[in-house]
Amino acid sequence: MAMLPEPLKRARVASTYLSQASYALRQEALRHLIEELATAEPLLLEQNTLDLESSRDLAVSQIVLGWLRLTHERLQRIRQWLEHLYHAADPWQQPLPTRPERFQYAVPLGVVALVYEGLPTLSLMLAGMALKTGNALVLWSGESSHYTAGAIATLIEAALSKTSLPKTTIQTLSLSPASWLGDPTAVDLALVYGRSRFVAEQRAAARCPLVSLSLGNTYLVWDGSVSPESVLNCIQRSHQANPDRALAIEKVIVLANVNPSHLAFVINELSQAGYKQGVDEHLHRNYAEIPLVDASEWPLPYLDQRLAWHYEEDLTAAVNWIHQYGSAASGIIASSYEDCRAFYQQVQTPLVFVNRPPQLERLDALALGVAAKGPQRGLFSLAQLLSTKQVYL
């Protein structure tokens, strides 16, 4: 630990303090965070505008600009999520199996890091989760969210200053992740969110436990055996999840047996409902008025009311496409039990939805997102920020 940068040394000291902090103190800090978020909204929106303007000058993609953009509605949803987190039970007190000669209880991991590009709301959500679970947190954002990250750091500092917790409980780092992720003692868990190349760079540098988070980019396979109304309902309901579109269907794979008139009906209905849509080259032959999907979009989430359509001959080809470009969740809508069974057995996404809309009720699950790979595959919630200590008598 002697070679660690000072901010990470201070985070380690803070984590020791937090591991002994009372639930009341952790709750107090979380309450102040929620209050400061409400007060700081004008500053957050102002600084976020500066990031958006700077990113346009740097030719940042429209998708990443969409991730970066803060609105009053987005901030309201985050406050709502943090309120639910505040009222949740103390995660340290969750019942765990016991035996007469031994018992175990939940303990925080220690120091957690979030390395992200584009989605500043993740840092606010993880700050709340860190306080709830008693972990120290370090944050690093890409250049595209420089001003927004600074405003978030200011509001977090203001919240912590109203408690007896160390100010180093949550820190924003300016040091490049490459300078500290390679040290296995730097943090106990690193969370990474961003484009595939960004995630790959952090994973290559990391020597500590690392989890890549996924949101959006859910693929739906449409088999021609079901009605277009069923498909339309599934897509639209997936976009109505609370509090956001964390797992909304954004990519639809149309199999060869889908009736062209059914496809035209669904596309038209979604267009009238305000969805922006794009198609692949195969479908563009019949839908020349709809923009082509750029090849870079298939592995990326939109996180807004947008859909991309892709054609495949059969279920096997569809599953292979999802393996290439999907990450968090996938679904199928089909009448054949055999096809549904083959799909959920073969597809490799951690979450699979069969004949139902993919939704992540994050107010109930209190999940930050989905861990796409590794031993923590699946929903990433409070439990993933805790370990257990076993005591033998």
The CATH code of the domain that includes 318 is 3.40.309.10
Say if residue 195 is in the same domain as residue 258.
Answer: no
Say if residue 310 is in the same domain as residue 268.
Answer: yes
Say if residue 318 is in the same domain as residue 347.
Answer: yes
Say if residue 285 is in the same domain as residue 271.
Answer: yes
375 belongs to a structural domain: no
380 belongs to a structural domain: no
pTM: 0.90
User: Which pLDDT value is given to residue 71?
Assistant: 93
pLDDT in tens, the chain (393 residues): 447 889 999 999 999 999 999 999 999 999 999 999 999 999 999 999 999 998 887 777 888 888 899 999 999 989 999 999 999 999 988 666 667 777 778 899 999 999 998 899 999 999 999 999 999 999 999 888 999 999 999 999 999 999 999 999 999 999 899 889 999 999 999 999 988 889 999 999 999 999 999 888 999 999 999 999 999 999 999 998 666 678 899 999 999 999 999 999 999 999 999 999 999 999 999 999 999 999 999 999 998 899 999 999 999 999 999 999 998 899 999 999 999 999 999 999 999 999 999 877 655 678 888 887 777 788 899 999 999 888 888
Say if residue 174 is in the same domain as residue 224.
Answer: no
The CATH number covering residue 23 comes to 3.40.605.10
145 belongs to a structural domain: yes
3 belongs to a structural domain: no
CA dihedral 28, 31, 35, 36 (to 10 degrees): 60
pLDDT in tens, 98-123: 677 777 788 999 999 999 988 999 99
User: Which pLDDT value is given to residue 122?
Assistant: 94
Say if residue 302 is in the same domain as residue 265.
Answer: yes
User: Which pLDDT value is given to residue 57?
Assistant: 78
Say if residue 182 is in the same domain as residue 270.
Answer: no
User: Which pLDDT value is given to residue 1?
Assistant: 42
> Would you call 373 exposed, middle or buried from its count of C-beta atoms within 10 A (0-12, 13-18, 19+)?
middle
Say if residue 184 is in the same domain as residue 292.
Answer: no
What's the total number of domains in the chain?
2
- Provide, rounded to the nearest whole percent, the portion of the chain with pLDDT above 90: 74
Say if residue 244 is in the same domain as residue 329.
Answer: yes
User: Which pLDDT value is given to residue 306?
Assistant: 94
Amino acid at 303: L
Say if residue 289 is in the same domain as residue 318.
Answer: yes
User: Which pLDDT value is given to residue 98?
Assistant: 64
Say if residue 170 is in the same domain as residue 147.
Answer: yes
132-160 in b/e burial notation, b at 16+ Cβ within 10 A? bbbbbbbbbbbebbebbbebbbbbbeebb
Q: CA neighbours within 13 Å on the CB side: how many for 182?
A: 8
Give the other-Cβ count within 10 Å of 102's Cβ. 11
Contacts of 14 (CB under 8 A, 6+ apart): 136, 165, 166, 168, 169
Say if residue 52 is in the same domain as residue 186.
Answer: yes
- Give the residue numbers spanning the domain of 129: 9-214
